[in-house]
Amino acid sequence: MKRILPVFGVSLVIAFCLTVASATAQDFDWHEYIEQRTDELFDQVVEWRRHFHENPELSNREFETARYIERFLRDLGLEVETEIAHTGVVGVLEGGMPGPVVGLRADMDALPVRERVDIPFASNVVSEYMGEEVPVSHACGHDTHMAMLMGAAKILTEKKEELSGTVKFIFQPAEEGAPEGEEGGAELMVREGVLENPDVDVIFGQHIWSLKPVGKIGYRAGGIMAASDRFRITVHGRQTHGSTPWDGVDPVTASAQIITGLNTIVSRQTELTKEAAVISVGRIRAGVRHNIIPETAELIGTIRTLDSDMQDKIHADVHRTATKIAESMGATADMEITRGYPVTYNDPDLTAKMLPSLQRTAGDVNVEHINAITGAEDFSFFQMDVPGLYFFIGGMPPDMDPADAPSHHTPDFYIDEEGMRIGVKALAILAVDYMQMD
């Protein structure tokens, strides 16, 4: 005869099982396990990094990179989705117990930069960029980002039954910007639902830094990287012979005055004690001959800000400065400002909660509060939808003078692979620590 438990008896059994499961999760020493497995897997992480480094692909063209990652995630037994924002790949790991959904992100794309570093796995890849044949290399460390996230994925998957929640491993294309005329990157991933089904509660990301010694972590609450906007100013004059400038209106001279005026926006009109800001003109194009004053001149540049109100103010200042200076010289100026990446903004509450996890990863003395950086990151689009924490890990050889360390986006960019050890541990520890918080 089958015995039927009364309702209250069933409830007690369920409650008991959940209590035992919770106690088991709390008893498992995740930190010791992550430390040990990171060391055991590290040679494999290096191997993955070198594969990506030797086979770089440009933004929105990460086809082979995506296939490599997809195979890896499927071999782990994860639920995998591909072709998000063209070439993005996402693996979903469901833990053995209920809990929050944590996103971990790595970017995938390389740059049109020739590699000059003498290493056996240097890139010799040539591809097409804006209609031109260009050398390609991972001159910003995205190869290490992918390898570190793969390491964290393997570590967490091996003990998924001890995991109180779900992890989304997000491999994102086109962080460096989609090719002209295309969409891509984090903004498109978010629009296509990468933070949904299941809905992500928080997201973590990291960037290796060639100017910070191996073993260090740099963090900052609030704005850690700048908003990045592009501007184009077209100055219209009146063409004339170079020997008789009084017969025309010189847009080149007007452009020179506009550039001087733009520089005073930051130095004289912006409250820099609040946040930093940058306005830079990167290209000037005008004329065809030495003895012809042209009809038009074009200025293209970037605006970097760490505060949204300041961003709006500087946009208005740039427009006013360009048009009024041009007008004062008898010319006119058309103004176009394109908003790019928003401020990479670390949620202050999340940053405070997770700081002990970063300190546990690298040691208190090695976790440093840093100044904001005027570079930009499209991780900011994830942070606009869910709380996020973005931080930097050291990739510079410990014995190197930072003054001699090659910068990112340069032919001599170099990363000490030992820095990836901290990165693997950081991603895994952040995920499990967040899941175990009340």
301 token code pair? 């540049």
Cα–Cα–Cα angle for 228, 179, 373, nearest 5°?
A: 25
Report the DSSP beta bridge partners of residue 421. none
Q: Is the link from the previous residue into 198 a cis peptide, with omega within 30 of 0?
A: yes
- In three-state secondary structure terms, 401 is coil
Contact 278, 227 (CB under 8 A): no
Of 123, 190, 212, the closest CA to residue 402 belongs to: 212
Please return the burial class of 345, using the count of CB atoms within 10 Å of its CB with bins 0-12, 13-18 and 19+. Answer: buried
- Locate 265 and state its tokens: 């926006």
Which residue, 279, 264, 255, is CA-closest to 332? 255
Pair 151, 175: CB distance under 8 Å:
no
Known catalytic membership, residue 341? yes
Catalytic residue among 68, 81, 187, 341: 341
From 54, 64, 417, 418, active-site residue: 417
Helix, coil or strand: residue 344: strand
Please tell me whether residue 203 adopts helix, strand or coil conformation: strand
Which sign, positive or negative, has the C-alpha torsion 302, 305, 308, 313? negative
Helix (H, G, I), strand (E, B) or coil at 431: helix
Q: Is the dihedral of CA 175, 63, 79, 39 positive or negative?
A: negative
Examine the residue annotation and report whether 345 is marked as an active-site residue of this protein.
no
Largest CA distance in the chain: 111
Residue 144 and residue 407: Cα distance in Å, rounded?
16
CB atoms within 10 A of CB 390: 23
Measured in whole angstroms, how far is the alpha carbon of residue 246 from the centre of its chain? 50
Q: What is the DSSP string of 277-311?
A: EEEEEEEEEE-SSTTEE-SEEEEEEEEEESSHHHH
Measure the CA–CA gap between 147 and 125, rounded to whole angstroms. Answer: 20
Strands (E), 118-174: 126-129, 132-135, 164-172
Quick check: helix, strand or coil at residue 118? coil
Mind telling me the catalytic residues?
A: 341, 417
